[in-house]
């Protein structure tokens, strides 16, 4: 009798877990308006809330796929991995953090780069993966961005970057800060080649990424309500000892003050960028 009860309890637990898993997969609650929507509805709406338009965070590869023609993306430099020249350690070794991030995301660093097409027009494109150490920019990320730009010059492609980052990677110290100058210099070479840089800023885009290549686009597009800035709002308030304006450092505030060119829903990224490519030639 005891064995039967044990088996019954196990079967009941499995069924309960399956029901829970099905419910979690079927529905998603919006972080902004708290409306609950079908997962499929959100996916069809470009991973945005059907009720309020809130943009859920998605992976760098998913952002690339929203823009490019289906199956046109060819990745480059995917085997580059970060080293630990400073032997940095806080609560954990930097080398251990890298191993954990690689295992979690199944990519080797926080930037995915390559080439593809938009309505048949060839482009070079790269996107940050926030799940990899907060999308931080270390030596490998800076190298991959620079290589992306150099390959674009060789292939006469315009460049699209999609940022989502907490900024420069503190575990690499000055080596990460050097990437700000490195990527900016690469963009200057792109400009001299007569090619354009379209920069897309998603939530969040902060720190050294904002202070370098991300704000050096010939056209700067922001995702709705994305946090964009150098230091965070709380740090600024504590420094200047003043209350910041409502919506400070959000996409719409930056648009109003001339810091970005447009705020676009993800569904409008591809058609808008396609028109830009026609304009740039």
Q: Identify whether residues 30 and 160 lie together within a single domain.
A: no
Q: Identify whether residues 42 and 142 lie together within a single domain.
A: no
Q: Identify whether residues 274 and 257 lie together within a single domain.
A: yes
| pLDDT score recorded for residue 48 | 95
Domain membership flag for residue 7: no
Domain membership flag for residue 143: yes
Domain membership flag for residue 268: yes
Q: Kindly report the pTM of this predicted structure.
A: 0.89
Domain membership flag for residue 11: no
Please report, for the domain that includes residue 262, its CATH number.
3.90.226.10
Give the chain's domain count.
2
| pLDDT score recorded for residue 204 | 97
Per-residue pLDDT of the chain in tens (281 residues, 90 and over written 9): 455 565 556 555 555 555 554 455 788 999 999 999 999 999 999 999 999 999 999 999 999 999 999 999 999 999 999 999 999 999 999 999 999 999 999 999 999 999 999 999 999 999 999 999 999 999 999 999 999 999 999 999 999 999 999 999 999 999 999 999 999 999 999 999 999 999 999 999 999 999 999 999 999 999 999 999 999 888 899 999 999 998 999 999 999 999 999 999 999 999 999 999 999 99
- Residue ending a domain, choose from 41, 56, 71: 56
Q: Identify whether residues 130 and 207 lie together within a single domain.
A: yes
Domain membership flag for residue 4: no
Domain membership flag for residue 1: no
Q: Identify whether residues 167 and 85 lie together within a single domain.
A: yes
Q: Identify whether residues 221 and 231 lie together within a single domain.
A: yes
Q: Identify whether residues 66 and 38 lie together within a single domain.
A: no
Q: Identify whether residues 178 and 130 lie together within a single domain.
A: yes
Q: Identify whether residues 73 and 52 lie together within a single domain.
A: no
Q: Identify whether residues 168 and 48 lie together within a single domain.
A: no
Domain membership flag for residue 205: yes
Q: Give the contacts of 9 (CB within 8 A, at least 6 positions apart).
A: none
Q: Which residues constitute the domain of residue 49?
A: 16-56
Q: Identify whether residues 71 and 93 lie together within a single domain.
A: yes
Domain membership flag for residue 130: yes
Q: Radius of gyration over alpha carbons of the chain, in Å?
A: 21
Q: Identify whether residues 83 and 192 lie together within a single domain.
A: yes
């Amino acid at each position: 009798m005891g064995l039967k009860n044990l088996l019954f309890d196990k079967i009941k637990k499995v069924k309960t877990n399956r029901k829970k898993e099905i419910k979690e997969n079927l529905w998603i609650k919006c972080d902004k308006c708290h409306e609950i929507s079908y997962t499929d509805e959100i996916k069809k709406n470009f991973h945005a809330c059907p009720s309020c338009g809130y943009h859920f965070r998605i992976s760098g590869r998913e952002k690339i796929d929203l823009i490019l023609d289906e199956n046109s993306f060819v990745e480059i430099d995917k085997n580059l991995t970060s080293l630990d020249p400073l032997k940095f350690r806080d609560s954990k070794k930097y080398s251990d953090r890298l191993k954990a991030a690689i295992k979690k995301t199944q990519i080797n660093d926080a930037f995915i780069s390559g080439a593809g097409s938009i309505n048949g027009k060839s482009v070079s494109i790269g996107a940050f993966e926030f799940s990899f150490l907060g999308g931080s920019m270390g030596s490998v990320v800076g190298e991959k961005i620079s290589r992306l730009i150099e390959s674009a010059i060789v292939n006469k492609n315009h460049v699209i970057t999609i940022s989502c980052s907490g900024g420069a990677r503190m575990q690499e110290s000055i080596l990460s800060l050097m990437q700000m100058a490195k990527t900016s210099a690469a963009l200057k070479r792109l400009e001299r080649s007569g090619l354009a840089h379209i920069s897309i800023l998603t939530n969040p885009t902060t720190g050294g990424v904002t202070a370098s290549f991300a704000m050096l686009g010939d056209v700067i597009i922001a995702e709705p309500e994305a946090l964009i800035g150098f230091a965070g709002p709380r740090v600024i308030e504590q420094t200047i000892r003043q209350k910041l304006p409502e919506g400070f450092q959000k996409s719409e505030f930056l648009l109003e003050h001339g810091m970005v060119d447009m705020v676009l829903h993800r569904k409008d990224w591809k058609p808008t960028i396609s028109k830009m490519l026609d304009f740039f030639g």
